[in-house]
Amino acid sequence: MNRTRPFLPYLAGGLAVAIWGATPAATAILARDVTPGLIGVARLMACAAVLVPVAILFRPRLPNDRRGWIALLTSAVVGFFGSFMMQGLGIPRTSTTHAALILTLPPVFTAITQFLLARRWPKRQWWVGSGVAIAGVATLILGRNLAGAASTSSLAGDLIVLAGAVTVSIGYVAGAKLSARIGLFAATTWSLLLGAAVTVPALPALLGGFANVTWAGWAALAFLALLCTLVGFAAWFWALDKGGVASIAPLQFGQPVVSLIIAVTLLSEDLSATILLALCLISCGVYLSRRAVSG
């Protein structure tokens, strides 16, 4: 039994990465049945339906100071509501492959947010890595017409997904600060519930928009709400806690590979030389910048 324990964090981390790798595809499938503007709303509402009884039963802690409430509001409104809305709006307007690669950038944006808050100048290696990663995104967005593979992507969609990568990064930083005050479970639960509360005015539109959803759409929503959000975050943070950030964090570099495999095999998207070049540049850049932050 003891021999298997060291592998459990890697299995949990790998599970989270595999789940998150399918997020762009699940969003694209749901967008076939639902207006893109309702996808983020539906995802938050579905999470809330699960978490409300959990919150009533376990009564997780709330912040007891001003900074804690600011962190909670930022995590909820910017991190969850903002990123879910941007992903829901952006992914249907571009290709799954483009969205998958752009969504590998949060580590870079998270580091930028941390540097700005700490007023600390990053290392030279971080600048090099960030420059390489941004060059990869530029190659992906500006090279859409090269190799004839970008007919399903759009500049607007790419930029919206990019905005989602920025908002989720801000949410990561706020969530980390909130978790230090009230614990990870409480921080995640209240952030998701408060993020869902923001979407309450859209509930009538949500009910009408889901009147004719197919079984595939419902399955995609369940995957996004339950697996991508609840199971994915729980497995990932548990893996980081038990296995260590330095050991587990590199597993996240497998996320775009999972997304690309799903996009090519299940959604029949093209895998062009431009996309492969962007994948190499973004992955190398994120790796270098992460090394600079953790080293």
Cβ proximity of 132 and 284 under 8 Å: yes
Tokens of 257: 């590979």
* pLDDT at site 4: 43
80-111 tens-digit pLDDT: 999 999 999 999 999 898 999 999 888 888 88
206-246 tens-digit pLDDT: 988 888 899 999 999 999 999 998 998 888 888 877 887 66
Distance CA(274)–CA(149), nearest Å, equals 8
Taking alpha carbons only, the member of 67, 70, 105, 68 closest to residue 86 is: 105
pLDDT digit of tens for each residue in the chain (295 aa)? 344 466 788 899 899 999 999 999 999 999 999 999 999 999 999 999 999 999 999 999 999 999 999 999 999 999 999 999 999 999 999 989 899 999 988 888 888 888 888 888 778 888 898 899 889 888 888 775 554 444 567 889 999 999 999 999 999 899 989 998 999 899 999 999 999 999 999 999 998 888 889 999 999 999 999 999 899 888 888 887 788 766 777 787 788 888 888 988 888 888 888 888 988 998 898 888 877 766 5
CB atoms within 10 A of CB 183: 13
Tell me the whole-structure pTM to 2 decimals: 0.86
- Considering just the CA atoms, what is the radius of gyration of the chain in Å? 19
Write b or e for each residue in 40-75: b if 16 or more Cβ atoms lie within 10 A of its Cβ, otherwise e: bbbbbbbbbeebeeeeeeeebeebeeeebeebbbbb
Cα angle 79-241-284, degrees, rounded to a multiple of 5: 65
Distance CA(139)–CA(276), nearest Å, equals 10
Sign of CA dihedral 30, 31, 35, 37: positive
Report the mean per-residue pLDDT for the chain: 87
